[in-house]
Structure 1
């Protein structure tokens, strides 16, 4: 069957675009896996996967590459076509980075309350930001752009299927297990991650089962999120009981990519605890990471505290999700925290005590 010159040109463009994404993946290599040991947790090792070291600055670099590949290989993205997605920031930054690489226009539909630095980062990469006052309307606005001809990458609808969880594309689960191969505990007790789209937890949970590992998966979530209530009740219509200030996670409802049955536990973390833990990570590692990294760390300390109480040894792996500079005007601004009633001092003391004694006290909140 013959094809028109236009179709031939489109196919050639798609082939070149896929080659560019493959070249970028090779250049990016992999992210570091850092190890820390704490006096209060003898026999329990903590590992931190530094996803903020990706070229676009976050864990979402992997997802954005996968979403572009998925769109290209399904015939949904054509030369010169605009690309759109709904995002609170980090995914949008990574998608803008790849859109620039492929030479296509990009529009990020973002809540107007998104951290200003994230908006500037998208714009610096050539993307446009369509800011929506009501965060609940970002999906509808992205659909409007798609109805006008844009390719909707749809991170919330496609994240869990766009990445091959079996590991033939060096997904994050495969990467973690490969980097642990020569460690004293190559099979960790827990892997801990947050849930934004649900794609990362789905990939990790599926891969652990595919590899027939005893490692359990914990999702670390802001207290009261839709995922917390949904997972505990197995109700896909569950909604959050309160909002969170930790961007990227703590969804108000259960996204379609969140797979209940691959998650072994959910640990709730108060927003102030997440910020305090992110600042503690900066003291320990020398680099500032965002609030979701703090959420992950606080959840790890809770799990390790429980392990120690049971006399268990082992290791925990979690993710350092994005760069802290994106939150200088929000989470890491004392005035902003005061305005939002976030007192981190008690949590800073509780975290320091946990590192020294192996016991994490949750101050009457969820953690």
Structure 2
């Protein structure tokens, strides 16, 4: 609630934006307006702010960002509604993203169930993917023996997915196994420490030159 009130106070919700830097006109083919990246990386307000992206399995955004290829396409649609695309869309602005966390579909489903068990919140698979990435980032902060905050935007509830993504038969029919990922999340919830061999994600950082290399 404190975070939400701060967002409202800053004018990002329910009202006009108080600072002209919140919406920035860009040259086409980039999007006509930008918002959250300008806010998160406003050096005057957040001098250490970084922006992470969450991508779905089979989506084009992560490989596009990693290879610096603006027209990358996988040809495979995302199985997590609301995130991921089979091709990179013109509105994707990779230069503002510091880190991309590609989340396996099974991990997104596991995180959705974990949220429900831990908090009682009925979350959808896209929210699960976001929370999986949040746990990943929080674990990185802890491992670096430093302090920091991770804020996220989540956007779906469980109701539309009762007979699909949250139905055990549907999940099995698509060869997805959330169980191992739930074990990882349960351990993270108890200890705050991730298991690198089980986290099943890829970290990518901007390197010298024109591409981004995996690590």
| Matched-pair contact (CA < 8 Å) for 1:223–1:366 | no
Cα distance in 2 for residues equivalent to 1:235 and 1:247: 24
Is 1:204 paired with 2:36? yes
Cα distance in 2 for residues equivalent to 1:364 and 1:314: 21
- Displacement of 1:224 in angstroms is 3.8
CA distances 1:21-70 after superposition (whole Å, capped 9, x unpaired):
xxxxxxxxxxx5679xxxxxxxxxxxxx9xxxxxxxxxxxx8xxxxxxxx
Matching residue of 1:189 = none
Cα distance in 2 for residues equivalent to 1:291 and 1:34: 23
Q: Paired residue for 1:363, among 179, 195, 198?
A: 198
Max radius of gyration: which structure? 1
- Displacement of 1:241 in angstroms is 7.4
- Displacement of 1:318 in angstroms is 1.0
- Displacement of 1:356 in angstroms is 1.6
| Matched-pair contact (CA < 8 Å) for 1:293–1:322 | yes
Q: Paired residue for 2:21, among 166, 172, 183?
A: 166
Cα distance in 1 for residues equivalent to 2:76 and 2:159: 26
TM-score normalized by the length of structure 2? 0.74
Q: How does 1:196-275 map to 2 (within 5 A)?
A: 202-210=34-42, 212=44, 213=46, 214-240=48-74, 243-275=77-109
Matching residue of 1:8 = none
| Matched-pair contact (CA < 8 Å) for 2:181–2:199 | no
> Secondary structure at 2:152's aligned position in 1?
strand
- Displacement of 1:238 in angstroms is 0.7
| Matched-pair contact (CA < 8 Å) for 1:224–1:268 | no
| Matched-pair contact (CA < 8 Å) for 2:73–2:87 | yes
TM-score normalized by the length of structure 1? 0.45
| Matched-pair contact (CA < 8 Å) for 2:123–2:158 | yes
Counterparts in 2 of 1:357 and 1:210: CA distance versus 1, 3 Å: closer
Q: Paired residue for 1:350, among 184, 199, 208?
A: 184
Runs of 4+ with deviation above 6 angstroms: none
Q: Paired residue for 2:121, among 287, 301, 310?
A: 287
- Displacement of 1:329 in angstroms is 1.1
Cα distance in 2 for residues equivalent to 1:297 and 1:288: 13
| Matched-pair contact (CA < 8 Å) for 2:188–2:194 | yes
* Structure 2 portions without partners, runs of 5+: 8-12, 14-18, 24-29, 203-215
Higher mean C-alpha displacement, 205-214 vs 258-267: 205-214
Counterparts in 2 of 1:346 and 1:312: CA distance versus 1, 3 Å: same
| Matched-pair contact (CA < 8 Å) for 1:243–1:252 | yes
- Displacement of 1:359 in angstroms is 2.2
| Matched-pair contact (CA < 8 Å) for 2:41–2:50 | no
CA distances 1:91-123 after superposition (whole Å, capped 9, x unpaired):
xxxxxxxxxxxxxxxxxxxxxxxxxxxxxxxxx
| Matched-pair contact (CA < 8 Å) for 2:42–2:49 | no
